[in-house]
Amino acid sequence: MARVSLRYLLWLSLVIGLQGCQLTQQKTDERERPAVFNHYEPDLATQQATSDYVASTAVELPATVAPLPAGDTPLPTPRSNDLWQHIANNLTLVFQTNKHTSARIKWYLKQPHYLIKVNKRAAPYLYHIVTRIERQKLPMELALLPFVESDFRPTVSSSKNAVGVWQLVGATAYHFGVQSDQWYDGRQDILASTDAALAYLSYLHKRFDGDWLHALAAYNSGEGRVKKAIEKNKKIGKKTDYWSLSLPKETADYIPKLLALSYLLKHPEQGLKRPKLVNKALTTEFDVGQQFDFSVIANLSGVGHNQLHKLNPGYLKNQSSPNGPHTLLLPLDQRTLLQSKLFRNNFAGEYIVQKGDTLYSLSRRFNMSVKDLKALNSKTSNLIKVGEQLRLSQPQTMPESLLVDYNISPYLEQHEETIATIAVDYLVKPGDSIWSISQLYDVPHKDIATWNKLSATSILRPGTILTLHLPQAKPAERQTPTSEAMLSRIEGSLKKP
């Protein structure tokens, strides 16, 4: 009996041990499963505790959650279908009630439609900004900085020559990889400047030992000024938290404005109207792969020339710089654009891995082999993670050049002698554009605009009569064409469909 009991106990111990191993393995697997959103949890130990809001608009503020131990992954907040709600759900910095934040709250509440108005400018870009912030596990409040800095105006310039929605000065922008030349100013490129601003803010966060308020103050007034203010307080025995520092008025108002906007976004019942914006990309980044002309891209994509320029304010001319970048933001969602045969064949595209995607399913969806997809993304295995960015294609059938020659007429390129022309009238038909007419008659579209005192992007009204100066056809060898024959050829060209 004792022997049977011993065997039974040994068997029972083995079963329990195996179950324990299984549970441990399950727990490990769950921890290693990639999380879509890992949000930054601030170190609250160095920040002041939240006090009660005593103004007439007071609400009960949510309790502060202590940061998780290092190595633990915070549970992601359920993703809202509305981007502004998603931003509000993930704001984490501590709100400090004082005369500065109270004043900024009252300021916002005097213009309750502020976010509704500014959201119209931000809508094409905000999803991309939020995605970048989440990817780097930064505080969601940073998505509100372009509103505080510039009211989300891409071309605005300050008295200190800070430019763009993130208000970057030239030296800082250059240090963090923003290109600028006569063709392109990356500070006005919303997504390029976002990458630089987030890199700069991450650097400042480390420099100020994980204190986000110090980092934000340094972003506004300069790293050296904030460090001097901290050292000054240390010498006289004062606190060194942001609220205790002596800083310029602009900086003293800067963080209260950000925190007040964050607070009101989390508490819309206070009166600041919150915009509605679908939580998905409304625009898609595409790498053209070579120097391009906006008019050519507009013609290839079907997107209006003016709309392309408005979405891509970093480009200062009608052409991209010979040195790059050659990336455009197009007003099409990613699925629509990538499923377009024209763009799938001609442009280098990117795709964000979604739940359930595999290399095999993506290769079938985008008409390429798994081998090519892996090679394009330097992968040695078939593993992909949710949120990973994959390159989908290389330019294959791109025209030899995406540029329009504005400087020299093709009729003068080989010969410098003057070529006779004849002026003819053209009646604009529905669907015509300066570009389509230039292609029909093989003349530079800039010339058509000049001849008719238009801009290269002018919209043509059906029924308008344009003057075209068509070149005389080159006479055949040993033949002298009569003026009647020349006019006959021109008449025939005008009857082209």
User: Which residues carry out catalysis?
Assistant: 149
Structure tokens at 439: 């292609």
The dihedral region occupied by 68, where left means phi > 0, alpha psi between -120 and 50, and beta the remainder, is beta
76 within 8 A of 39, measured Cβ to Cβ: yes
Tell me the one-letter amino acid at 328.
L
In sequence order, the 6+-apart residues with CB closer than 8 A to the CB of 384 are 353, 357, 358, 359, 390
434 within 8 A of 445, measured Cβ to Cβ: yes
3-class SS of residue 242: helix
Q: What is the spatial distance between Cα 97 and Cα 53, in angstroms, rounded to a whole number?
A: 6
Q: 28 φ, ψ to 5°?
A: -65, -40
Q: What is the spatial distance between Cα 188 and Cα 156, in angstroms, rounded to a whole number?
A: 8
362 within 8 A of 344, measured Cβ to Cβ: no
Tell me, what DSSP letter sits at residue 78?
P
Helix (H) or strand (E) holding 391: strand 389-391
Q: What is the spatial distance between Cα 111 and Cα 484, in angstroms, rounded to a whole number?
A: 71
**Angle, helices 434-441/294-301, rounded to nearest 10 degrees:** 90
Bridge partners (DSSP) listed for residue 471:
421
214 within 8 A of 205, measured Cβ to Cβ: no
395 within 8 A of 346, measured Cβ to Cβ: yes
Quick count: other Cβ atoms within 10 Å of Cβ 206?
Answer: 9
